[in-house]
Structure 1
Amino acid sequence: MTTKKKKWISIAVTFIFAVITLTALFPIISLVVASLRPASGLMREGLSLLFDPAELTFSNYLSIFSESGQQYWRWYLNSLLISGMLIVLSLFFSSMVGYALAMYQFKGRNVLFVLVLFILMIPFEILMLPLYQLMIDLNLINSYFAVMLPLIVAPIAVFFFRQYCLGLPKELMESARIDGCTEYGIFFRIMAPLMGPSFAAMAILQGLTSWNNFLWPLLVLRSSDMFTLPIGLSTLMTPYGNNYELLFSGSVLTIIPIIILFLFFQKFFISGLTVGGVKG
């Protein structure tokens, strides 16, 4: 293949990926533009990139910091607390379960792993009714724990950590035992640092899942002060569009924590997914 032909192929591939990128970013760009337009224009023309630049204003964002936006920040805080606690608890417990399934030989290990895969294949919507009844029995309705409890030990996280741990050298465990290290010491002091990329990948995926979770919190949360952002923003949608200013500007601000989370862990994200995905 000639150098000129390689150059044209490279240009074509770059163009194709640029088009794909712009297509993927179109909803976000439309959302940002909508957040800078008055509600009257949105009601008249809908979401569109064809607009008068003179009508762009930051007044929608100023409304968030006014008295009418106080409830929004309460929802924001609820989502931050729930997502933050869920990430920490999910990484802690799911990593320990996946590590045990990968590194220890015990009776029923394969059965437990098959159960994890079985639960992974069941849609969450099927499990919601028994989980909802469980939350009622535990008297956890309208609490943070009701939102977090079914997601703390996520099957996808257990499966991922198990696959990742299969690639860790078991010789390190034997050496640590000879030196007198306990099993918990082996995990926290030796194995957990080696699992850094997997923790980063699961932190992003679990954080994204929790942040965007809508249906389950909608079932278990009752008071508006306990609402998360997806539920709270949905209450702003009215037939008259009188809350569109807060809805679109608030939706743009909800993207910020996910971007920060990804930027913080992006160094290990790809390596964590690829290494965890090829171990058998």
Structure 2
Amino acid sequence: MNKKAVSWVVTVGMGIISLIALFPILLLLLSSFRPSSELMRSGISLTFDWADLNLDNYLYIFSQADGYWTWYANSLLISALTIILSLFFSSMVGYALAVYDFKGRNLFFGFVVFILMVPFEILMLPLFQMMISAQLVDTYAGVILPLIVAPIAVFFFRQYALGLPKQLMDAARIDGATEYGIFFKIMLPLMTPSLGAMAILQGLGSWNNFLWPLIVLRSNDMFTLPIGLATLLTPYGNNYDVLIAGSVMTIIPIIILFIFFQRYFIEGLTVGGVKG
């Protein structure tokens, strides 16, 4: 089989896989235009009358569903702060583990790898006890603080920083630059692809995070979108009009985030994954 045939088979295969992956999203999008009463009867499916499609669900969200936009704003704020703080602190830790030779460095990195293998469910109880002691239950800080130094991000930045040219650091020291100046002015710009890749992964994780915010947050006006949408399904009534259309609206920030950082995503994952 020649290269052209192989390329054609791979392209067709990837196209089929893409269609399979996009099918649930397409089904959700079409269902968001269906009347709530019909969704209650037949659920999410392709067996519906196309003439019944309308914008009523979206009009309801924009005009009457006040709680939805509160949850949306909470998720945007928490995700934005998580991305910024996680990139800042995790990149510093990963960079230090890669370029500085200090006592206990390998042991510290070993702890990072070990934590990667520990399920988050095991850590929830001690983390929640810490939040209670710090009086951070039902606060944004209680949701964000345990996530700002993610082990996966530290590992990724460490692997990426191993490939940075050390000669630039030596030259900067000769010119009188401080270690912080070297990191922020020289090395951090070189780590831009890794920052872009981690921004997407950390943003996606924070935006979809359900379990930890569910444990920490208590009041309805502090809920994030995953928790708020989950509260719409109760034994006393199901608000499918908000649930389905609201779920479609949750995809928009992730698409924007990916479009903004897509130029760095593949490069960051490829380079960061093979260094070291």
Same fold (TM over 0.5): yes
Matches for 1:5-20 after TM superposition, within 5 Å: 7-20=4-17
Q: CA deviation at 1:242?
A: 3.8
Counterparts of 1:115 and 1:258, CA distance in 2: 31
Alignment-derived partner of residue 57 in structure 1: 54
Q: CA deviation at 1:49?
A: 1.8
Counterparts of 1:93 and 1:10, CA distance in 2: 42
TM-score, normalised via structure 1 length: 0.96
SS of equivalent to 1:50? coil
49-58 or 224-233, which deviates more = 49-58
Q: CA deviation at 1:17?
A: 1.8
1:75 aligns with 2:71: yes
Deviations 1:155-186 (A, max 9, x none): 00000000000000111000000000000000
Alignment-derived partner of residue 155 in structure 2: 159
Q: How big is the alpha-carbon RMSD for the aligned residues of Structure 1 and Structure 2?
A: 1.2
Q: Say if 1:39 and 1:241, in contact at 8 Å, map to a contact too.
A: no
Q: Say if 1:37 and 1:55, in contact at 8 Å, map to a contact too.
A: yes
Task: Give the counterpart letter for 1:21 in structure 2.
Answer: S
Counterparts of 1:153 and 1:139, CA distance in 2: 20
1:179 aligns with 2:175: yes
Q: CA deviation at 1:46?
A: 1.6
Counterparts of 1:18 and 1:178, CA distance in 2: 53
Unaligned segments of structure 2, at least 5 residues: none
Alignment-derived partner of residue 32 in structure 2: 35
Alignment-derived partner of residue 150 in structure 1: 146
Alignment-derived partner of residue 216 in structure 1: 212
Residues paired across the two proteins, number: 276
Q: Say if 1:39 and 1:242, in contact at 8 Å, map to a contact too.
A: no
Matches for 1:67-216 after TM superposition, within 5 Å: 67=64, 69-216=65-212
Counterparts of 2:50 and 2:272, CA distance in 1: 47
108-117 or 234-243, which deviates more = 234-243
Task: Give the counterpart letter for 1:257 in structure 2.
Answer: P
Task: Give the counterpart letter for 2:243 in structure 1.
Answer: L
Counterparts of 1:111 and 1:73, CA distance in 2: 45
Counterparts of 1:46 and 1:22, CA distance in 2: 22
Deviations 1:35-71 (A, max 9, x none): 010122212222112321101010000000123x111
Q: CA deviation at 1:30?
A: 0.9
SS of equivalent to 2:149? coil
Task: Give the counterpart letter for 2:269 in structure 1.
Answer: L
TM-score, normalised via structure 2 length: 0.97
Q: CA deviation at 1:102?
A: 0.2
Counterparts of 1:7 and 1:241, CA distance in 2: 56
1:250 aligns with 2:246: yes
1:225 aligns with 2:226: no
Unaligned segments of structure 1, at least 5 residues: none
Deviations 1:123-160 (A, max 9, x none): 00000000000000000000000001110000000000
Counterparts of 1:7 and 1:275, CA distance in 2: 28
Counterparts of 1:228 and 1:149, CA distance in 2: 16
Counterparts of 1:276 and 1:175, CA distance in 2: 24
Deviations 1:83-102 (A, max 9, x none): 00110000000000000000
SS of equivalent to 1:65? helix
Task: Give the counterpart letter for 1:54 in structure 2.
Answer: A
Alignment-derived partner of residue 46 in structure 1: 43
